[in-house]
Structure formats: structure tokens, C-alpha cells
Structure 1
């Protein structure tokens, strides 16, 4: 570098430091200064830094946050947000945060139910992977490289645009970020035939606690195993995944049938538990449950919604239902033909199919954001009718907004994959994955406490019908009620309280991997895997 260029470079640094220092009284200004000093391109780095004093801070923080519980004024906010657009910025941020004692939180899509990817009780910065959103599809090899910040919708859109017969077995909600989704397992409408999103990851690029960029070969099989369903943010910054694409039939049929207590919902839900997990792998029969105001009686009633995706035609689907579940009363006019599998994502949420492309690629939340608390369960044997009635009784006692449940049948491919194949262990022996959610309107703390108490009570009731040794939970539906780590050092046995519920016997292997790759626990949150 010539003397004049060096002077110009120093002048740019002086302007940047002066601006940031004037704009921020943040005690962790040293972290920002460190990042700019160590960066090979401080001007570019300065563009991806936001602090509470910069105009972009609030929009960057709140645009991806889906649970409004964590937008309230008393919620701890990050001292700095970095939205990197190159690997070197992440490496620098890791080194500087270590030096200046700033905890890292990694955000890809903002659907962390407990806000652990963007909330902390200690000084922290958020690494928002929004710019890592490229999707590169190779139809010939049936693979794709997907950035951690790409949403499911963006991923699906790019796959179908390349080849309509190829699919990726990820989740339903288009605005979920791939990074977090795969890190906890990731299930969706294709799980009974192809398993989880994490089951279909072939390679990955990550940055570890030492700032090294690693792929599957260089990270080794232990770390590669851990980041596919074992909470990847406990081990590294996920940059991108190479995923396997699966081939799906071009003939696809769907239906949605609504039943209430007045139209035999109790008997149908009871029978569904025996039927749905044992159907062909080509047929997913989802169940959603909530409370509505009955048009027939004017009173509140439970509504059961049966939604299906089938690889095949309407005549064949009706024939299968006539044989396996005649009580449902499916007829051909209830069915709809889909032009592609991604249309089912939109159909599942009751949106017009002609909006498929725009809803997949939009970063605006498909459903209105809300204040909520969620829980999960795995059912091992069908709940008897008396038990179902107990669930209805409590659901009917809960005021509007009603408690919501989604019941996803497992079985088929999910029962064939060994529990230890990836960290997600809930395979054979589990017939249903249950999602429980309660919402509320407004910021009244007393109302929030009441609503959270209600879902805890409901979850306790669900405990009568599931295996409690230990009770199972789904890692992607993070629930801090299960237990939390200490702010400082956390023992493995303390973390096992929540870890065994997510990972069963795989928890011990996750601890070993953590001890090997991050012994000083740099990647830490309320439910991160602790090192020995």
C-alpha cells in the first residue's frame, strides 16, 4: 500500500470510529472498534453493524421476531446487531466478542419460540444471518446449497422453479429460516416418506469457536452429526447446508374436512390416532384442533380439521379413505388437485393457491404476529375417548383466542430411521407429534401470566397420556419451562433435565461433541449443550 493510500485508509477509519463513537454510548463500543480494526474492509463492515442509536436497529431486530412477547420494552436487547454478508466478518466478530466479553446469539429466521436467538440476560450481540440467503439448486445431482438465512419458502420456490418434481422435506411455515429449522430436526408434509429436513443434509459449511471455516470433511463426522438436529447454535455458526432433494409425484391430491363435536369429532379424532400413523408413506393425514363458535348451536365447540396431502389421484385417495377411515366420509368433490407440492404449503394455511409464489418468497409473516407460548409432546399410544373428552373440557374453558393444537402422524419412514442416526431421537414407538399453542392480545403482564399458566395446566393434563420417563419434547419448539442453563457454568446433569427430553440418549454424545469442539462454551444460550 502506498503512503497516500495508507493515509486515506487511516482517514476512513478515523471517520468511522468518530461516527460510531458519537452515535453510541454503548459500553461495548470496544467490540465495534475491534471489528473495524481487524477487518480487511472496515467500510463494508461498518455497513452491516447496527446499534440502538442507529436508525436501522429496530427494524432489523423486529422484522424477524415472530413472538411479540420478546418485543416488549423490558426485554433485554442486543448491544449490537451484525448482518454479515461475508465469512470474514463472522470470523472477526467471533474473535472480537471473545476479547471484549460479548455473548453471541445467532438468528436465522426469528421463529425461536423463547427468543433465545435474540434475547439474553447478559451483554450480547446478535449475528443475524439474513444476508446468507442464497439457494443454488443442482437438479442433475438432486442437491442444493442453501444459506442459513434463506427461508423455507425461498428454498422451496427456487427448487420448484428449477424442477417441479423435486422437493425438500422441510417444514410448513414459509418464513422459517433454514439455519434454525434444520438445527432442531425440521419436519413437514413429506416426513412420513423422506424423514426430517436434518435427515436430508449431505454437507455443511460452518464457522467454529476458533473462527475456522469447516465443511463436513474438515469438521469430522461427530460435529456433522451434532449440527443436524442437535441445536447447531450450540456448536458453530451455520453458514449453509448442502441438502438432498427428493423426487415427488406430479399427481398430487389434497383435501380439508372440518368436523365439530356436533358432527362426531370425538370419535373421529379417536379413530384418527389408529389410522393416520399406519397409512401409506405417500399419504399424510394431518389434524388441527381448536375451539370455535358453532354455527349450529351458537355455543363454543371443538373443531377438528383433517388436512391431507396424497401422492396420487382423487379416486385412489377416496378409495383408501373408504377402506381405512370410512367414518370421515370423504367424497371426490372434497378433493383438490395440486399442480405442485409447494401448493400444499399454501393450502395448509388456507390461502389462495394463485398466491403461492408471492407467499413463498415474501419475508412478511404469513400469519399475523402474536404474543404466544408453545409446547410439544410425542404420543406413544392412542389417547382413549375419556382422555380426549378431558382435553375438550379444558379447551372449552379457555377464553378467546382459543388454544390451538396440531397433531402430526409419524410412522412410515420416521419409524425406520434409527434413534441415533442424528440427534433427533423420536422415531419408532412414537405415533404422533403434538404442537400446543396459546395466544393473547395486548401487553398486560397479568394477562400474559394468566395465559401462560393456562397452557402449562393444559400441558400437565397432556402428561397423563404420554410417556413421562422422560417426557419427550421437540427441540425446534424450544420450551424454557423444561429447564435452563445457568448464566455461568452449567453442569451436564443440570442440562440433562431439559436435554434428555429433546434428545434422550443422544444427549451424552452431544455433550462429548461440545467438549471436543467448544470446550470453553463460547456458543452458549439458555438451552445450549454444555461441555464437560
Structure 2
């Protein structure tokens, strides 16, 4: 094709110059458009300019703290706007206005997504920050509590304990994790063998759907209520509040930590006992390299007194060598604070701080790999008990009967350089690969709250989800989640790199 002539270029220039007087005015900044929309749709007397921040606002960088160090870099994509909602109507209006401006929405309650998907996107996005929605109410008489999305689990535990010394809630040992993300991804903790997961104890919820409607269990329907309890609400809407069933705990519980080395063989018996013992007993195994060996630490909670658990373990787990001097008897809330202490020290923090294949052969291979790598840690959490009694399709979380343990791979480092980050991530991947012969297969299962983009990402329009990571998180529950997604969010507005797609997205590649 011939290049345009000079005369053509000159003519075009003159035409544009003459037409400027009648040209359309430039589009207003996104912040102005969004504020106008928010004012129209939010039923609130709060000046909306007080809750919307763009990158010219001096408070922008303080409102946007990144919780994961490796994602806190100048190259980390930042939102176009941050909306720090104060009430439900702000959430509703934010969804409506983000959709009307055709800008992607990311929703942050606690910000503890391991891959940062709650506050990072490679596409232009608005961050809906739920930080101010952290109200908690407890009704001991009816054994229920309500927690807004950004209430931390530590705050929930404390408020329950403040109302009753004989109630608790089965959720994470990490008290700074928020209700919204933890519960909607499944949620587990030290009482899972007695009471199941957090989602097994959810009795109602409030969410905002893609149309900006505020729904509860009755108005959202059974399918959507099923989906948000383990399928991640962020694929379907914005969770505002969960209503949970609080559970009875003894006035006195027992917790302890016993350290062994691999030469002492305690882990051999632990893997036989931990998932089969009394369902009041939860024994978590932590493995960490220690010189030329591996230190194995058993941290445990027993829902009862020391005199009850000692004879159980003397019979079932004599190699542990548990003595009464190793045990601490206290309120359940003290066990929560103790487990949150990385060292499991006997003098745990005060409750107020919560406000702030061949098994033997496989373990030997894992130990050798951990010693070789030098920095990696493994945590094994035993299942069975109540977990084995709940059907795999009761909630989207499918890993129930037939599973003995869940393993978590972890590594931490202080060197801020990209090279160090890559080195330690590679170590994690190497240990994960080493475990392959000894874990679930076809597919190798994964826990949604341990988010990992290595196992696959959504390519929006290609079927990567179903083939790569969807089945790993949800097994046979995947198709029902896709069906729910198609019904409630057919245009796939609520999406991220590992969200649930609708049927249109799932089948696009076959057209």
C-alpha cells in the first residue's frame, strides 16, 4: 500500500484544526465519574470524596498497604481508585459504578491472599477495601455470632470469649486473617476434627451481587449460598457479613508442644495416630531443617483436661513421650493465643493480643530434600474425625473422607532482591515436586486458601480453568460452581486469575 502523500497529510491536519471548535469535550477523570455515580447510588450522608482515593491523593499510599512483601514493589500494579466503604450501601454502589465504568473490581477484606489477587491485577482496576466493615455481634443464648467481612478472626475469638468462656469457633490459628476471605475459601483450624471447617458452621450470609442487590441466605437461594461457602465469594459477589454457629468448648482445654528429631522416629507413629485418635485431639506436625537433621514439632490442642489426654497418648503414641509437665491447661482462648506464637511458648500471649505412598519411605525422601534445601518448612494438619463424616459435596470444599492430612509448604526470607525471591520460590517448587508420589492424584488436590498461581490461571476465554486448576481446588464440585456462576454473573464481572468462569467462558475455545 502506498504511503500517504504530503498533501493528504496536510489536508488532514487542516481538517482537524478547523474542527476543534466543535469537538466533544474530553472525558472527565475516572474519579469524577465514579464519585458522581457513587453519589447517585449510595444511600449515605457521608461525603463520598472522603472514601474514594486516586493516586493524586496524598493518603493513597497509606490506604494501600501491601501485606505480602514480595508484592510490595514499585512495579506492583496499583489500583486506579481505592474505595474505603463504610456501610453496605457503599458496597452496593461501588459494584454498580465499577460495572458502569467498565473497570475491573478487586475486593480486599484482610488482604492475605497468598498471590495478592485481592488487591493486585494486571488490568486497570478499582480496589474495594472492606477494612472499615468489621462489626461483630455475639448471641450466646442462640449460639450464633455475626462478623463483617474485615473483622479479623482474632477479634471474633475475643468477642466470643468475652461473652462466654465455654464457646469458640473452628477457624484459623492465625488471628489476623479476616472473616471474608478465610471463611469463603473453606477455613480450617485446630477444632476441625471435632467440628469440621469454618464453612460447615456458617448459617447465613449477606452478599452484594453483580446488580448491586444486598442478599441474604433466603433471597440468594440454596445454590449461591452453597457456592460462597468454600468456592470464594469473590467469583460471585462481595461478602459483607457471615452469620456463624459458635460451638461448645470445655472450660479447660489442654495444649502442648513436643520436639523430636527424625532419628527419634516419632513422625512414624504420628502419621498413624493423628488422623485416627480421639476427635477432640488435634496434633499438628511441623517439620523444619535443623543442621544435618530435621526437627519435628508436634503442637496439639485437646478439648479436655490433661489427665484425659495423657493416657490416650501413652497408649496410642508412646514415642511422643508426653508428660504432664509439657501440658498447659487453660481456657480455649489461651490456646488460640498460644498457637499464634511461632515458638509455641508455654506462656502464651494474653487474649487481648488477638485484637491486634510408603509413608516411611516418603518421609525419608522429604527429610533429605528439606536438609538439602536448608530453608523450607512443612506443616501437616490431620483430618478425619468430623471431616470424614461430612459429604464431599456438602460445600464446595471437597477434601473430606479419604484424606489423612493437608500439607503446607512455607519459606520466608529477608533479602528484598528479586533474585532471592526467585531462589526461595524455586525451593518451594522443588519440595512440592518431591512430594508428588505421596499425595493425592488425578488430580493432585490443592486448598483454595493456599492460593498458588503455579497450578494454573484463568485465560478468560480459554478453558485453562477446567483443565488446570479448577478440579484441583474443587474436584467434582467444579461443575456446580460453574453453573451457579453462569446464573448469577453471566458476564463474568467478578473475576480474577483463579475465579470461577461461567459456561460461556468454559466452552469458548470449542466454537
What is the distance in 1 between the residues matched to 2:359 and 2:392? 27
Kindly tell me: are residues 41 and 141 of structure 1, through their superposed partners in 2, closer, same or farther at Cα, counting changes over 3 Å?
closer
The equivalent of 2:101 in structure 1 is 100
Partners of 2:285 and 2:379 within 8 A in 1: yes
The equivalent of 1:373 in structure 2 is none
Question: CA-to-partner distance for each residue in 1:331-381, whole Å, 9 max, x for gaps?
Answer: 11111111x21211221223675632232000xxxxxxxxxxxxxxxxxx6
What is the distance in 1 between the residues matched to 2:164 and 2:360? 45
Residue in structure 1 matching 2:461, options 489, 492, 508: 489
Question: CA-to-partner distance for each residue in 1:132-181, whole Å, 9 max, x for gaps?
Answer: 11111000000011101100000000000000111111111000000000
**For structure 1, which segment, 385-394 or 138-147, has the greater mean C-alpha deviation from structure 2 after superposition?**
385-394
**Aligned-pair distance for 1:490?**
4.2
What is the distance in 1 between the residues matched to 2:43 and 2:256? 55
Structure 2 residue 210 is the aligned partner of structure 1 residue 218: no
Question: CA-to-partner distance for each residue in 1:459-511, whole Å, 9 max, x for gaps?
Answer: 0111110122000000111111110012x4343x6444201000000000000
**For structure 1, which segment, 469-478 or 50-59, has the greater mean C-alpha deviation from structure 2 after superposition?**
50-59
Structure 1 segment 268-287 matched on structure 2, within 5 A: 268-287=266-285
Residue in structure 2 matching 1:384, options 349, 359, 368: 359
State the secondary structure of the residue aligned to 1:241. Answer: strand
Structure 2 residue 46 is the aligned partner of structure 1 residue 46: no
Structure 1 segment 206-285 matched on structure 2, within 5 A: 206-262=207-263, 264=264, 267-285=265-283
Coordinate RMSD, CA, aligned: 1.7
Question: CA-to-partner distance for each residue in 1:201-235, whole Å, 9 max, x for gaps?
Answer: 00001100010110000000000000000111100
What is the distance in 2 between the residues matched to 1:96 and 1:227? 23
Kindly tell me: are residues 148 and 353 of structure 1, through their superposed partners in 2, closer, same or farther at Cα, counting changes over 3 Å?
farther
The equivalent of 1:177 in structure 2 is 178
The equivalent of 1:347 in structure 2 is 338
Aligned residues: 473
Structure 2 residue 297 is the aligned partner of structure 1 residue 305: yes
Residue in structure 2 matching 1:359, options 332, 349, 353: 353
Kindly tell me: are residues 159 and 43 of structure 1, through their superposed partners in 2, closer, same or farther at Cα, counting changes over 3 Å?
closer
Residue in structure 1 matching 2:404, options 411, 431, 452: 431
The equivalent of 2:388 in structure 1 is 415
Structure 1 segment 65-84 matched on structure 2, within 5 A: 65-84=66-85
The equivalent of 1:124 in structure 2 is 125
Partners of 1:495 and 1:530 within 8 A in 2: no
What is the distance in 2 between the residues matched to 1:443 and 1:136? 41
Partners of 1:496 and 1:507 within 8 A in 2: no
Residue in structure 1 matching 2:319, options 316, 324, 327: 327
The equivalent of 2:10 in structure 1 is none
What is the distance in 2 between the residues matched to 1:117 and 1:490? 22
Identify which of structures 1 and 2 has the higher relative contact order when contacts are C-alpha pairs closer than 8 Å and 6+ apart: 1
The equivalent of 1:521 in structure 2 is 492
What is the distance in 2 between the residues matched to 1:353 and 1:132? 33
Residue in structure 2 matching 1:474, options 440, 447, 450: 447
What is the distance in 1 between the residues matched to 2:38 and 2:338? 46
What is the distance in 1 between the residues matched to 2:61 and 2:279? 45
Question: CA-to-partner distance for each residue in 1:288-320, whole Å, 9 max, x for gaps?
Answer: 11123xxxxxx4431111111112221221111
Partners of 1:284 and 1:308 within 8 A in 2: yes
Kindly tell me: are residues 44 and 355 of structure 1, through their superposed partners in 2, closer, same or farther at Cα, counting changes over 3 Å?
farther
The equivalent of 2:6 in structure 1 is none
What is the distance in 2 between the residues matched to 1:420 and 1:46? 45
State the secondary structure of the residue aligned to 1:440. Answer: coil
State the secondary structure of the residue aligned to 2:361. Answer: helix
Residue in structure 2 matching 1:290, options 275, 280, 288: 288
**Aligned-pair distance for 1:40?**
4.4
The equivalent of 1:455 in structure 2 is 428
State the secondary structure of the residue aligned to 1:305. Answer: strand
**Aligned-pair distance for 1:28?**
5.5
What is the distance in 2 between the residues matched to 1:40 and 1:158? 30
